[in-house]
Amino acid sequence: MIEPYINVELFPDNIYMEKGVFQQSVNFEFRFYTDSDEPLELQEVNVDGYDEACRLLFTFPLNSFGFIPPILLVTERKVERGKTLEIFNPIPNYPTGYAINRLHYKFKFRSRSGIRVEAKKIVLPVVYEQKRSLILPFKGACLVTEGHDYFTHHRRNFPLFHPIIQKIGIKGNNSRFAYDFVLLDDEFKMYEGTPTRNEDFFCWGKPILGPGDGEIVALERDSPDNSYNTFPAFDVEAHIRDPETEMKKHLGNFLMIDHGGGEYSVLAHMMKGSVKGREGATIRKGEMIGRLGNSGDSFFPHLHYQLQNGPGILKPEGLPSKFESFDLMMGNEVKRLENACPNTGMIVKS
């Protein structure tokens, strides 16, 4: 009897190690294929980290032990013949002190009849060398309501083997390293009392700044702002008929800026009528480009920011983005950071 096999592929082609403030992270997907006659279910993931001299740094497991096993964090675990199982890398974060050169992932699968199959994959992450210097696109204190860690919606926006995503024709996750920013008042509050309107948020209408020099390649300024706590409907058929147009609607009022060197900033959800400039116009770092709003795929006022590797909506992949300098507010302590990337839950001040 020939034992079944599991084939493992990685997506995207370039896997970046993002050096965060407190941890370093790898943000990518695994894709599994099998020739097994029986469906196989993922039971365990293990990763070994090695330095440049091939010395073992650590080993981290994700297994099926316990009444509520941690492997359940991986919600889709079944791979079948003729189908692709795609999962977000389930062990993405490591302490900053490790000088990681390579990651060895091992996977254990099992069928209902007891067939056991193992697979391995070596990942060689690289630190992305940002080509253009960027600043945070606002002044003042801000809460990063969502960054791009394992549990955020930016990380999970585009499961590329989901049937709807495939019908729309989305080929990359351009929000893979995105941020949602909400500006705060002097007491680090988002609003006073219980908000019922956009105007109740202190960030509403605040200036948005160009993150870096570049040329406007796309924009929208006439999308209406949503009422607070309402969400636009998602029309699947409309997205399939005209995916580029419909996907741009999710951005609301936005600017896409070509910084050169294959780096493009997207700033989204801005206030109706506030977006400055025109296609082909030049943007300067720190120049006012619009006002914070609540347009597009948004239900409360905030600014969405992402860096991506090309123009358009359907094909680009997200890129890690570092900002020149900002203060990390840590209670009574303020930590000045240079060329750093904030993430979910942080209060930062530019």
Token pair for residue 206? Answer: 């605040």
- What are the beta bridge partners of residue 25? 18, 93
Token pair for residue 239? Answer: 């997205």
The predicted-structure confidence for 77-122, as pLDDT tens digits, reads as follows: 999 999 999 999 999 999 999 999 999 999 999 999 999 999 999 9
Distances 28 to 75, 171, 292, 299 between C-alpha atoms, Å: 16, 14, 30, 28
The predicted-structure confidence for 182-202, as pLDDT tens digits, reads as follows: 999 999 999 999 999 999 999
Distances 94 to 74, 75, 270, 349 between C-alpha atoms, Å: 18, 22, 35, 26
71 has pLDDT over 70:
yes
Mean pLDDT of the chain: 96
pLDDT at site 89: 97
d(CA 311, CA 19): 25
Contact 265, 134 (CB under 8 A): yes
338 has pLDDT over 80:
yes
The predicted-structure confidence for 10-59, as pLDDT tens digits, reads as follows: 999 999 999 999 999 999 999 999 999 999 999 999 999 999 999 999 99
Q: How confident is the model at residue 231 (pLDDT cuts 50, 70, 90)?
A: confident
pLDDT at site 1: 58
CA atoms within 13 A on the CB side of 192: 6
2 has pLDDT over 90:
no
Contact 40, 6 (CB under 8 A): yes
The predicted-structure confidence for 247-275, as pLDDT tens digits, reads as follows: 999 999 999 999 999 999 999 999 999 99
| Core vs surface per residue 187-207: b (16+ CB within 10 A) or e | eeebbeeebeebebbbbbebb
Token pair for residue 97? Answer: 């002190």
Token pair for residue 67? Answer: 């009444």
d(CA 326, CA 334): 10
d(CA 40, CA 38): 6
Of all residues in the chain, the percent with pLDDT exceeding 90 is 97
Q: How confident is the model at residue 180 (pLDDT cuts 50, 70, 90)?
A: very high
CA-nearest of 286, 283, 253 to 270 is 253
**Amino acid type, 233:** A
The angle formed by the CA atoms of residues 8, 11 and 12, to the nearest 5 degrees, is: 155
Distances 103 to 9, 27, 337 between C-alpha atoms, Å: 14, 13, 28
Give 339's contacts (C-beta < 8 A, 6+ positions apart): 322, 323, 324, 325
Contact 266, 216 (CB under 8 A): no
The predicted-structure confidence for 124-139, as pLDDT tens digits, reads as follows: 999 999 999 999 999 9
Q: What domains does the chain contain, in order, with CATH numbers?
A: 6-123 (2.60.40), 141-349 (2.70.70.10)
CA-nearest of 40, 44, 46 to 3 is 40
d(CA 255, CA 247): 14
CA atoms within 13 A on the CB side of 53: 3
